[in-house]
Amino acid sequence: MDSAGLQLLMLAKKTAQAQGRELRLVGHSEAVIDVFELLNVAAYFGDPVVMGSRPKAASGDAARSSDGS
């Protein structure tokens, strides 16, 4: 997804709000999730899929191996 795609989604949300409707995003691709995270726009869309998609690792978690050692 590029900036034009994001602009279209933002326009769709604005149009829906003006009409008293709700815009829901479904079927997120990995590219959409990456862009939303990079630009920090998940909250703008109220998107629970993106907002909760990748839990943040606690400090030190990344240094542990998969067996917890």
pLDDT digits (tens, 9 = 90+) for 33-69: 888 888 888 888 887 777 765 554 444 444 444 445 4
Do 37 and 15 contact (CB within 8 A), yes or no?
A: no
- pLDDT for the residue 17: 95
- pLDDT for the residue 53: 58
Instruction: Give me the domain span that covers residue 10.
Output: 3-53
Is 58 contained in some domain? Answer: no
pLDDT digits (tens, 9 = 90+) for 3-41: 898 899 999 999 999 999 999 888 888 888 888 888 888
Cα angle: 28, vertex 48, 12; to 5 degrees: 65
pTM of the predicted model as reported, rounded to 2 decimal places: 0.64
- pLDDT for the residue 15: 97
Is 25 contained in some domain? Answer: yes
Is 9 contained in some domain? Answer: yes
Is 32 contained in some domain? Answer: yes
Is 28 contained in some domain? Answer: yes
Please give the structure tokens belonging to residue 43: 């909250």
